[in-house]
Amino acid sequence: MAKKSITEDAQDVMRAAILIELGARIQVLESEVNLSRDRMIRLYQEVKGVSPPKGMLPFSVDWFLTWAPNIHASLFYNIYRFLTDLAGCSHFDALTKGYKLYLEHCERHDSYIMLSFTRAWTLVRFFDAGILQLTRCCTCTGKFVTRKQDAAHGAVCGSCQPPSRAGKSAKPVSRVTEDEAAAECSPGQFDAMEELNSTLSNCADLEPARHEASCGQAA
C-alpha cells in the first residue's frame, strides 16, 4: 500500500466509518477507501459491534429492473446525479449524502427502505459500466432506470404502469432494512410507491445526465 500522510489516513478512516454506518459491506470499503483489509474489519467491528457479513455482494442487474426496486433505484439514482451534476459533489459525497436523502425520503413518506446502501453502490457501478441508463417516462416525464439497450421511445415507468395486482391488498406497509429480504414488494406498498413516483416527476426538470436517453431518442 502506498505511503500516505496521517491526514490522508485519518480521512480514509472517517470515510470508511461513514460507509460502515450506512451499511456498506467490506467489498464496498475496499473499492472506496485506501485501508488494509485488517483495519477495515477492525473498524467495522468497532462501528457496528459485530463482524462484517461474509459472502458475495448482490450483483443482479435484473433486480433493479423489477417493479418496486426499480422505483427505489430510480429515486436514488436521480438524487445521485443531481448531487454530482448540479451540486458539484464528488462521487463519495453524492453516494453517501444521496443515500441519506433517500433514507429521509422513505422516512418522511412512511415507506420501507428497499435499497440497501450496498445495492445503491452497486447501482452506480452498473451505470458507470454502461449497463444501465436513465430513460424519461413518456407519461410522468420522470427518469427511471432501464437497461442501456432498451428502447427509450414510448417507455413508461413502473409507477405509471404498476403490475395488475398492485394496490389490491389491504396489507399494511412494512419497513424492511435488508433489501435481500424484499426481493418482491407486497401489493400493500403501492401507496408509498405513488409518493416516490411524485418525487421522480419532480426530478424531471433536471439537466440531461450522461446516461440518459430522452423519450424517443436513444442515448
Which residue type, as a one-letter code, is found at position 20? I
* Minimum distance, C-beta of residue 158 to Zn ion, in the bound complex (Å): 8
d(CA 25, CA 148): 27
Q: Closer to Zn ion by CB, 157 or 185: give it.
A: 157
Q: Which of 79, 157, 192, 209 binds Zn ion (CB under 5 A)?
A: 157
Cell numbers at residue 33, please? 477507501
Q: Which of 13, 41, 131, 160 binds Zn ion (CB under 5 A)?
A: 160
CB atoms within 10 A of CB 133: 24
Q: Closer to Zn ion by CB, 103 or 138: give it.
A: 138
Does 140 help bind Zn ion (rule: CB under 5 A)? yes
Does 139 help bind Zn ion (rule: CB under 5 A)? yes
Structure letter (DSSP) for residue 53? P
Element (H, E) at 102: helix 91-108
Does 214 help bind Zn ion (rule: CB under 5 A)? no
Q: Strand runs (DSSP E) across 3-142, as ranges?
A: 132-136
Q: Closer to Zn ion by CB, 10 or 204: give it.
A: 204
Does 145 help bind Zn ion (rule: CB under 5 A)? no
* Minimum distance, C-beta of residue 204 to Zn ion, in the bound complex (Å): 9
Count CA atoms within 13 Å of residue 53 on its CB side.
11
Q: Strand runs (DSSP E) across the chain, as ranges?
A: 132-136, 143-147, 212-213
Does 41 help bind Zn ion (rule: CB under 5 A)? no
Does 134 help bind Zn ion (rule: CB under 5 A)? no
Stretch binding Zn ion (CB under 5 A), from 25-33, 46-54, 157-165, 207-215 = 157-165
Cα dihedral across residues 186, 188, 190, 193: positive or negative: negative
Q: Closer to Zn ion by CB, 96 or 199: give it.
A: 199
